[in-house]
Amino acid sequence: MEEACSGFTRFDFCQILDATDNFSEKMIVGWGGFGKVYKGQLPGGLNVAIKRADEHTAMLEVNSELQLAKLQHANVIRLLGWCIHGKERILVYEFMQNGSLDRYLCARIKGPLLDWSKRLKIIKGLVEGLVYLHKHPMLSIVHRDLKPNNIILECDMTLNISDFGSAKTLSPDVTEEHTCRVVGTSGYIAPEYASRGVYSLKTDVFSFGILVLETISGRKNTILDKRGDTVGDLVRDAWCIWKDRIRLHELVDRSLGHGYDIAEVVMYAQVALLLLCAQEDPVDRPAMTDVAAMLSSESMSLPMEPKEPSALSEGGAGEDTYINRSSRTIDITITSSATVLTRVRFIIDPEV
């Protein structure tokens, strides 16, 4: 780990204890598959976010986050330093005063603070950040766990993509990879990744589409406990509203009142649904570079109409459908919207 940390500040463990008031629960500002995140203050007065790996976090995940933390982009969180003390593995990041996007979506008090222009800024920042990750000169980077909790906002609502513990890299000549350990969050995880462990750049594209719909609507995307559901209730509702254009205003967060441009709502909703148009075949989703081109088009028009996801006509399924039937064993880690982490291992006999 120390080799991976080269180029970053090494903090003393006592500094970390002082900054977090001995890891006080009142200092916790977030948590995830990596561990808990604390707000801290260094001796010079600088506020920082301190990620403390829990005992179940694999060293591979820590090293993955460290390697990708070296990325430099306005929409990617910046690592400041690290600390190793016995079994303690700690990463120190710059602190974003406005916290994560999930604090604003679906919140009666904070939701109205996100006016339409701020929501568009968040979506555009996410596009730019993902284009950078996907088109990195050396390796394409798949985040694999894009969700509101991992979108951190600065004071001016500039977006930062964070938490690269689940991220993977793809070499230029590889379009997709397979894993027997699926790590993701219910409501945001791409169907092909959840069911078969196949991930690619299009895995993030699916999650992006969900985030766009949530940012527009102020609603969470919930996977319904019905057989066959791979996309969630928000996608289902958005599609029904899309088919009846005169109801499109119903997709917009009510806290915005009439403070939005309906033409822009049409465009962003169409982009989101276009990304979700073919659940079984991620090839039909556009690349993030294509999404960027669509959103920067002065004509605000898209080359095609979104197709209805076939999963919408088949009902829904719960998390128990996330099984890889082509492998004998698959580990699945799915975080629910209530931030409860579930780890399950299925042993499958393909001959049964």
**Residue 18 among the catalytic residues:** no
What is the rounded CA–CA span in Å between residue 239 and residue 251? 10
Amino acid at 56: H
Of 145, 163, 204, 229, the active-site residue reads: 145
Is 51 annotated to bind a ligand? Reply is yes
DSSP 200-255: EHHHHHHHHHHHHHHHHH-------SSTT--S-HHHHHHHHHHHSGGGGGGGS-GG
Amino acid at 105: L
Question: Reduced to 3 DSSP states, what percent helix, strand and coil does the chain have, rounded to the nearest 5?
Answer: 35, 20, 45
Q: Please, which residues have CB within 8 angstroms of residue 48's CB and are 6 or more apart in sequence?
A: 19, 39, 40, 41, 42, 80, 92, 93, 94, 95
What is the rounded CA–CA span in Å between residue 349 and residue 331? 15
Greatest alpha-carbon span in the chain: 63
How far, in whole angstroms, is CA 196 from its chain's centroid? 19
- The catalytic residue positions are 145
* Residues tagged in the binding site annotation: 51
Annotated binding site for ATP: 51
